[in-house]
Amino acid sequence: MSDPKALRNAFGAFATGVTVVTTRQPDGTPRGFTANSFTSVSLDPPLLLVCLAKTAHSAETFANAPHFAVNILAEEQKAVSGLFASRAPDKFQNCAWTPGPSDMPLIDGSLAQFTCANHQLVDAGDHLILIGHIQHFTTTEGQPLGYFRGNYFSIGIEKDLAEAAAAAKGSRLGAVLACDGGVLLKTEGEHLRLPLAPQPTLDSLTDKLTALGLQPQIDFVYATFDDRSTGGHAVYYHGTVTGPLPPGYRILPLADLSDAPLTNPAEAAMLTRYADDFRNGSFSIYHGTETTGQTRQLGA
């Protein structure tokens, strides 16, 4: 068998989010620990799981508790993660929290909170697998706290870097937005183009779409490249959009993307790649120029 430390490092190659799992002792005292070994299990019935080391001080408490909660941390909650990963005896006195359903402690500011009934406890080597039946959950907008190879990282930093690159070169920022089995496009006479922001910031783009009566949801940077035809830098995000179609816009089906009359050749190539990505079920990020570059797969 391989060295445990090397195996831990190999596991660390999988980037995850960060959670704080909470419950109460029989006397009502709140308990909690930090975990990145969290995953969804089932939608019907609604199940999730977290893993807890048998050597953890709270292992017995969680194994016997009828309920527990999972709090998915936001990027600004590194201190909360560190607090609940420590052996500090007064964790809940040093963070903001609120009693939730079933009186479970919920960490204020979390991106999502799941209150669960203890559905099943699985003995798995040096860990316990807590499978919870989700009885209540809430979500808020924000960027998640990421964890990779033993270090925190901010998934939201790509937004700042992309906008800095765009602003520095006086370029454009747009988005490939999926909608009703196609992609949202703006009409320009007989031609089409992707929605662009009035200013090279993501907030400017979302504000513009919202003002049109749409509800955009931006996921990640889809392409960033030097456009030599305009002398600027281009950044395009991937996302989805819902809402009534405003005047001057149309939804182009995926099957028609490769032949769409796009004003900008780089956008035409991008939409051809998008159609391929969608069919393959694995999206990618493009970096280079308007004609040549590299793609990096993101996964399903």
Question: For the chain, how are helix, strand and coil distributed in percent, rounded to 5?
Answer: 25, 45, 30
Retrieve residue 81's tokens.
């993660």
List strand residue ranges (DSSP E) for 125-231, in order.
127-139, 145-148, 151-154, 172-179, 182-188, 191-193, 215-227
Q: In Å, how far are 72, 188, 258, 299 from 261, measured between CA atoms?
A: 43, 10, 9, 29
The pLDDT assigned to 29 comes to 95
Tokens standing for 18? 């960060």
pLDDT at residue 280 in the model: 74
Q: Per DSSP, what are the bridge partners of residue 124?
A: 127
What is the torsion angle, in degrees rounded to the nearest 10, for the CA atoms of residue 85, residue 86, residue 87 and residue 92? -80
**Integer Cα distance of 294 and 150 in angstroms:** 28
> What's the angle, vertex CA 262, arms to CA 259 and CA 267, rounded to 5?
100
Each residue's pLDDT tens digit in the chain (300 positions)?
457 777 777 776 677 889 999 999 999 999 999 998 999 999 999 999 999 999 988 999 999 999 999 999 998 898 999 999 988 888 999 999 999 999 999 999 999 999 999 999 999 988 999 999 999 999 998 888 887 667 666 655 455 555 555 555 557 889 999 988 899 999 988 899 999 999 888 888 999 999 999 999 888 888 888 877 776 788 899 889 999 999 999 999 988 888 889 888 888 888 888 888 887 777 777 777 777 877 766 544
C-beta separation of 124 from 87 below 8 A = no
Please give the distance of CA 113 from its chain centroid, rounded to a whole number: 15
DSSP structure class, residue 198: S
* pTM: predicted TM-score of the whole model, two decimal places: 0.56
Q: Which residues share a beta bridge with 20? A: 34, 71
Domains of the chain: 4-154 (2.30.110.10), 157-299 (3.90.79.10)
- What is the rounded CA–CA span in Å between residue 251 and residue 133? 39
Instruction: Determine phi and psi for 210, rounding to 5 degrees.
Output: -65, -40
